[in-house]
Amino acid sequence: PPRPLKIVAFLGKDPIYSNTVQQVVSQEPDLAGVRSVASTSKKHLLEIIPDAEVFLTFHIPDGAIDAAVKLRWLAFGQVGVERGLTPQVKKTVKERGIIVTNAGEVTTPMVAEHALALMLALIRRLKTCLEYQRRKVWGFGDLRDRVDILAGKTVAILGLGRIGYQVAHLCRTFGMRVVALDREPRDSDFVDKIYRPNQLHQLLGKADFVVLCLPLTDATRNIMNREAFSAMKDGSYLVNVARGGLVDEGALLEALDGGRLAGAGLDVVAEEPLPEGSPLWEQEGVIITHHLAGLGPKYFERLGELMVENIRRYLAGEELVNVVDVVKGY
């Protein structure tokens, strides 16, 4: 008979999210021994987690890891795990040998397409078009010499993981030249040249678009600072579908006001929700999309399918998919 396995899912106040993942897992006959329990409150979570081997969550309430005395696998329901992997959590999972995974490819197609949507919106002046529409003004005369196309432009992708690689694929489809920044040299059918971190400014100077797909770590925080923006081409664009902490927003505003950047597409910002008083709201050339890039149809069904794959691997003693290097933070 299948070995018993208890999973605790803590995916927000609405139980439909955890229940959707549970339904996907429960439909697999070979996982009959798996018992998934959903929680929507910290109090309930702390009551049910002590005998759980697996904890699926978006964030970790205080005391949850210490209470989970039998925990062997911490599964994050998103890609970026920097908020969950606090110094204390890192210390605990390393000491206890707990496996950490993230959602990996669950969000890849949505985030990559969102990056392209922002690029197209910027270069085709869709924000201005919508403003003219709101005012019932026909803007042909103003816009006809200001729109452009992606084909023939150079895009620099910072971070060549799953999402960065998919962005590269889509950009190549649009006829763009693709260069990338990555710590590890690797072969790619869609990237013309890969630069190392110490070549960042050299890379930035070649790009019409810079797309951020990096994890947020101590090494990447504020990687787009005043010096980085100064290295970019005049009239270039920034797109951030990763983490707001990658960008020094004061330096970004300076680059926009000074004309170094023609615009920016920001799905993420340093402080979320973006404060009402932030000058980014009113900045011409900036498009803000409210951290929606990773969302799309059947997100939790896809997360459930990933969990099924990893549960099978876990029970078989095999390496899991999307294992996070706790030291690196991704």
pLDDT digits (tens, 9 = 90+) for 163-179: 999 999 999 999 999 99
With 0-12 / 13-18 / 19 or more C-beta atoms within 10 angstroms meaning exposed / middle / buried, residue 212 is: buried
Measure the CA–CA gap between 69 and 67, rounded to whole angstroms.
Answer: 6
Provide the pLDDT for residue 187. 79
Measure the CA–CA gap between 91 and 68, rounded to whole angstroms.
Answer: 15
Residue 2 pLDDT > 80, yes or no? no
Q: Which runs of E-coded beta strand occur in 162-315? A: 177-181, 193-195, 209-212, 236-240, 261-266, 286-288
For tokens 């009551």, what's the residue?
47
Hey, what are 150's tokens? 């992606």
Q: Is residue 226 part of a domain?
A: yes
Looking at the DSSP assignment, which residues form a beta bridge with residue 158? 181, 212
Strand-by-strand arrangement of the 34-38 sheet: 34-38, 5-10, 54-57, 73-76, 99-101
Q: Which of 114, 125, 162, 243 is catalytic?
A: 243
Q: Is 4 left (phi over 0), alpha (psi -120 to 50) or beta?
A: beta
What is the SS3 assignment for 6?
Answer: strand
Q: Which of 131, 272, 284, 309 is catalytic?
A: 272
Q: Is 243 a residue of the active site?
A: yes
The model's pLDDT over 67-98, given as tens digits with 9 standing for 90+, comes to 999 999 999 999 999 999 999 999 999 999 99
- Total domains, the chain: 2
* Alpha helices (H) along the chain: 15-26, 42-48, 64-67, 87-96, 108-123, 126-135, 140-143, 162-173, 200-204, 226-231, 249-257, 299-316
The model's pLDDT over 98-109, given as tens digits with 9 standing for 90+, comes to 999 999 989 999
Q: Is 144 a residue of the active site?
A: no
For tokens 């095999």, what's the residue?
318
Residues 166 and 267 in one domain: yes
Q: Measured over all CA atoms, what is the biggest interatomic distance in the chain, rounded to whole angstroms?
A: 73
List the domain range (segments joined by +) for residue 127: 108-288
Q: Is residue 69 part of a domain?
A: yes
Residues 144 and 211 in one domain: yes
Q: Which of 291, 301, 305, 312 is catalytic?
A: 291
* Mean pLDDT on 236-262: 98
Residues 216 and 301 in one domain: no
Q: Is residue 324 part of a domain?
A: no
